[in-house]
Amino acid sequence: MISHYLQRNGISTTTISLIREHTEYTRQPRALWVPFPLGRPFGVADDPDFQRDVLHSALRLLETATEPTIEDYPHDAPDGGGDGVWSCSIQLPEPEVSDLEAALRSEVDLLTPWYEEARRRRGRTTVGISGAKPEEIDKVVSFIVAIAEGSGFKEIPASAQGPNWNHTFPMLVRFVVEDLRAFYQEAVTSQEGTKPPSQHDMHSWIFEKTALGQAIIQIGHQIAADDEQRLKMIRGLIIPEGFWKGGVSWGETPSGEERLSFIIRSRAYLAGEDA
Amino acid sequence: MVRLSDLHPEEAAGMLAAAPRFGDIDHEATPWIDPPPLAESTICLVTSAALHRRDDVPFRFGDSGYRLIPDDINPDDLVQSQVSVNFDRTHYQRDMNVVLPIDRLHELHEAGEIGGVSAMHFSVQGASPNAKTFEASAADMANRMRELGVDAAMLAPV
């Protein structure tokens, strides 16, 4: 829709399309549909030639298209999407269910040198969206353990005071989980010379092999036990569909209500404006 | 290769259910605009990945605003408050250019393929339940783009 609004205000646009059905619906002026996984509009990391070709192909539509156009990019991503060929070569201990905090801290300790190495080599980290600094990852762990063990969805756990948390409940839970997940992902993708994992590989590893996955699932159970129907959406934002065994991760839409209207009705609650 | 049929059925259903959030589009209201030749056009990026600087106010769920990303941003200063868990973050975590191809734009400029790169790029939270809420902020973005000398915007979702 933004392309329509920009054009109505005098700016030419061209767009990458990931969901062709959405682009067919919105009929944007110029769109290059690309056959890449969601989250990867320019194809693949660390392949400048490929990224540049995708970008240039989308930009060329500014010269070649004379009416609303969806062009199909002819090449798959060089890794083919990458599913199912990756295994983590960092040996983590078998997660110890009886002591979630000890298990999580042990994993974080093992992953820290890999995380630091990746951060130095790339010159960046994406950890920090919750407001915790990357060096406050121990407080991120404390937060997740407390929520997983039932401290509720309204107040910062006493054990996690310190960081300048910059979201409100309940969405804060989603971003704290994302920060620890990013820490894990950046650490295990630091290994050079191995085929990088896809997001599905990553989810499978986290939920099947790590204490982090167990902690997230435990948060999912705390959400399931809560009476607030709108809170279920937070589970859908931390556990991808297919990895929550208790039904639809996102939660059921109340009967008689359209999914979209339920989301719109829940927006203020999720943003922390309607406790 | 990812098509709706490749996604988890719940995820695909959510994607299709999301189409009405675009609302009834008045296609007649969108004019066709031909920019100058590409080799003379200044380009900016618009991402819906909810990227922003670390000290920016994060995007809220359903946020209809935008954030500015300087062209010379230190990549370590970029964070992402996109809410969805259903897209690949691993490639972005390794290389920002797979989502925000600032370096690639500069290479195209150096090769003479485009006329210039905007001093600022734009970011929005794409997972909005109601796309019409972007109408006002897109008008404001367009004003800023004109001030920046932008001829065309390259939009990319995640």
Q: Using one digit for the tens of pLDDT, what is the confidence trace for B39-79?
A: 999 999 999 999 999 999 999 888 899 999 999 999 999 99
The answer to whether residue A50 sits within a structural domain is yes
Is there a domain that residue A168 lies in? yes
Write out pLDDT tens, residues B124-134.
998 776 778 88
Residues A58 and A8 in one domain: yes
Q: Which range marks the domain in which residue A105 is found?
A: 100-270
Q: For chain A, what is the domain count?
A: 2
CB pair distance less than 8 Å for B97 and A19: no
A196 and A67 in a common domain: no
| A200 backbone φψ class: left, alpha, beta (φ>0; ψ -120 to 50) | alpha
Distance CA A213, CA A100 (A): 11
Instruction: Compute the average pLDDT of residues A117-131.
Output: 96
CB pair distance less than 8 Å for A1 and B85? no
CB pairs under 8 A, 24+ apart, for A72-76?
A: A72/A32, A72/A33, A72/A35, A73/A32, A73/A33, A73/A34, A73/A35, A75/A50, A76/A35, A76/A36, A76/B1
Q: Is the pLDDT of residue A198 over 50?
A: yes
Residue A86 has pLDDT above 70, yes or no: yes
Residues A33-45 have a mean pLDDT of 95
Within an 8 Å CB–CB cutoff, is residue B43 touching chain A? yes
Sort out which chain B residues have CB atoms less than 8 A from A11's CB and list them: 33, 142, 145-146, 150, 152-153
pLDDT at A27 over 90: no
Mean pLDDT, to the nearest integer, of B102-127?
96
What is the residue whose two structure tokens read 């997740």?
A: A144
Averaged pLDDT of chain A = 92
Task: Kindly state the average pLDDT of the residues A171-177.
Answer: 96
B1 — pLDDT class (breaks 50, 70, 90) = very low
With bands split at pLDDT 50, 70 and 90, how would you rate the model's confidence at A191? Answer: confident
- In this complex, do A45 and B91 lie within 8 Å of one another by their Cβ atoms? yes
Nearest-angstrom CA–CA distance, B70 and B93:
19
For residue B121, give Cα distances in angstroms to A41, A215, B56, B116. Answer: 16, 37, 14, 13
User: Looking at beta carbons, which residues of chain B come within 8 Å of A122?
Assistant: 75, 94-95
Task: Indicate whether A107 and A162 sit together in one domain.
Answer: yes
Question: Could you tell me if residue A95 is inside a domain?
Answer: no
Q: Under a CB-based contact definition with an 8 Å cutoff, are residues B119 and B150 in contact? A: no
| Selected residue of A11, A257, A262 to mutate for chain B interface (largest B Cβ count, 10 A) | A11
pLDDT at position B61 is 83
Identity of the residue in B41, B46, B61 whose CB atom sits nearest the CB atom of A171: B61
Return d(Cα A12, Cα A219) in angstroms, integer. Answer: 45
Per-residue pLDDT tens digits for A202-241? 999 999 999 999 999 999 999 999 999 999 999 999 999 9
Domain boundaries, chain B: 35-156
pLDDT attached to residue A251? 85
Burial code (b: 16+ CB inside 10 Å, e: under 16) for B81-92 equals bbbbbbbbbbbb
**Residue A82 covered by a domain:** no
Report chain B residues whose CB lies below 8 A from the CB of A42.
97-99, 101, 104, 156
Q: Tell me, yes or no, whether A49 and A126 share the same domain.
A: no
Query: Which one is predicted more confidently, B29 or A77?
Result: A77
Contacts of A189 in chain B (CB under 8 A): 90, 93-94
Residue A170: CB partners within 8 Å, gap ≥ 6? A153, A231, A234, A269, A270, A272
Q: Is B129 on the interface with A (CB under 8 A)?
A: yes
* Judgement on whether residues A116 and A209 belong to the same structural domain of the protein: yes
Contacts of B11 in chain A (CB under 8 A): 240-241
Is pLDDT larger for residue B2 or for residue A177?
A177
Report the predicted TM-score, pTM, of the whole model to 2 decimal places.
Answer: 0.93
Minimal-distance CA residue of chain B relative to A247: B10
